[in-house]
Structure 1
């Protein structure tokens, strides 16, 4: 019997090196899979499946307990299924020649740092023109899962700028920092499970009520309750990491204030939002969320994008250090 090739053969690199390469590729070119014709995006497939399950199982005539249990079953089943698929793919890519390229493309597709950066810059450009319609169109892909369509239409320029900063910070946690952390801790199964829960929470929270209700506590509805709460639980640690990275990044961004960012962390509901608001010295409420008085201007949103870019560079640098430590160990 021919012995199996050792792990790492045929260019199958250290998973952390693979992650570092994926971050570099995604930062430079964005989501490659989304641009390929007739190639289904993994997140789009999951969203379609979640929508179908919600349509079949989220029946208004059912009682509250039944809807909550159905939602719990769906989120657990999909998360476990994604973890199993991730484990199988990881095992496959570690053994077969150059199969790690599959994992690289999957990482690029599931880590969304480029989209958040470009989204913040697009909203800032819209604000600079003074056009609410252009700003609203730029905000929709950045924070659409947190705002119902009618809510988005009612926002003026101040409201749109606040929603952009808040939504951008939270999107960065879910799409850029959380998947990286889960991949480091649990590998591809952890990343795929986290992204599955986040995608499911966005889909069922928006489709749970007529017109969509937005992702958030208190308005998620019975069927979406389990997905939204599990998503919030999985984002708790990444949010704290993101807040610290934003505060550290403020030391390298002109006009930002790292000390103020750190001071806002303990009382902020979201450390990511609180850190960015503090770094820009925007007026905030006691829980760290922004008030209309502290609505950021276009230049401040661009500075927020710079903060995010530097925070992502710091994250990449820390991963590079881990790679070097593993190589020398």
Structure 2
């Protein structure tokens, strides 16, 4: 498909220049559609969750296929791919949120930092100090470097615009219903498993790109600790970041009253406020490397 790789690269540039739109974001609109459908089909059932996930992800892929169908000329294909890439990427917004957290921590405004944590992850911020807030942010930046940047590019390369839209749909549904709770334990199972499957390769590509951009210590921690995380994918990214930054990630996390003790990754010091900016810079470098890698792959 001529124009697709160029369109992916142009989409990365658009995201870097424009970031996410403040209003009318396509992903937010998709989320509203998903909520309406959930109200209609919800039940404490894996089958209902599978139907819910299949309709929405399949619908997103279908929209992408139609867009490609009507953009047969290379220049049109490039434009459609660029806009779709820009719509599904979140690297610039991730970096902006990380820098906002860094600014709050640098002036020791812990209340502001705790208030911003929900923009990055679902962790309970109550009572968290500077180091724990920094750790939560670095871990979120690491994981979302894959989810918000590398994975969309991988699926855009593999499956064009349908791949871009289907991936973002699956990842959004995982964020909405894919976590373990009495309501979503069964209903969200399909969304969570699909997201795990779609992110298996991109998470490892992300870890390897961190190693390529950082060096041997990242490789050592990536290999040693990447499989310790309860997620089959997040640990690969977090371990590589831990090694690259020389910090120690993992530990006790609270999520809405549920407490998880996660294995530690890396053997460095506890994260500090300055490590948040370092993580954001590393994420941007890895995103750029992923874009160049995708552009250089011959289809």
Give the TM-score range, shorter chain: 0.7 to 0.9
* Aligned residue in 2 for 1:56: 40
Equivalent pair of 1:119/1:142 in contact (CA under 8 Å)? yes
**Displacement after TM superposition at 1:176 (Å):** 0.4
Q: Distance in 2 between matches of 1:111 and 1:160?
A: 25
In the superposition, the TM-score normalised over structure 1's length comes to: 0.77
SS in 2 for 1:93: coil
**Displacement after TM superposition at 1:273 (Å):** 0.5
**Displacement after TM superposition at 1:141 (Å):** 1.6
* Aligned residue in 1 for 2:219: 262
In the TM superposition, what whole-angstrom CA distance separates every residue of 1:188-245 from its partner, at most 9, and x where no partner exists?
11111111111011112469658xxxxxxxxx52211111121112111111000011
- CA, structure 1 residues 19+285, in 2 after alignment: closer, same or farther (shift >3 Å)? closer
* Aligned residue in 1 for 2:149: 176
The one of 15, 24, 30 equivalent to 2:13 is: 24
* Aligned residue in 2 for 1:156: 129
- CA, structure 1 residues 207+233, in 2 after alignment: closer, same or farther (shift >3 Å)? closer
Equivalent pair of 2:6/2:78 in contact (CA under 8 Å)? no
Equivalent pair of 2:117/2:137 in contact (CA under 8 Å)? yes
Equivalent pair of 2:221/2:239 in contact (CA under 8 Å)? yes
The one of 309, 314, 317 equivalent to 2:284 is: 309
* Aligned residue in 2 for 1:247: 211
**Displacement after TM superposition at 1:249 (Å):** 1.5
- CA, structure 1 residues 103+283, in 2 after alignment: closer, same or farther (shift >3 Å)? closer
Equivalent pair of 2:97/2:119 in contact (CA under 8 Å)? yes
* Structure of higher CA gyration radius: 1
Q: Which has the larger share of strand? A: 2
Q: Whose RCO is larger (CA < 8 A, sep 6+)?
A: 2
Unmatched runs of 5 consecutive residues or more in structure 1: 1-6, 8-12, 211-219, 251-257
* Aligned residue in 1 for 2:192: 228
Deviates more, 1:201-210 or 1:101-110: 201-210
**Displacement after TM superposition at 1:246 (Å):** 1.0
Equivalent pair of 1:18/1:104 in contact (CA under 8 Å)? yes
Equivalent pair of 1:268/1:288 in contact (CA under 8 Å)? no
* Aligned residue in 1 for 2:273: 298
* Aligned residue in 1 for 2:165: 192
* Aligned residue in 1 for 2:256: none
**Displacement after TM superposition at 1:122 (Å):** 1.6
Q: Distance in 2 between matches of 1:242 and 1:160?
A: 23
SS in 2 for 1:152: coil
Unmatched runs of 5 consecutive residues or more in structure 2: 228-234, 252-261
Q: Distance in 1 between matches of 2:173 and 2:9?
A: 27
Equivalent pair of 2:7/2:80 in contact (CA under 8 Å)? no
The one of 29, 33, 37 equivalent to 1:45 is: 29
In the superposition, the TM-score normalised over structure 2's length comes to: 0.84
The size of the alignment, in residue pairs, is 281
- CA, structure 1 residues 96+171, in 2 after alignment: closer, same or farther (shift >3 Å)? closer
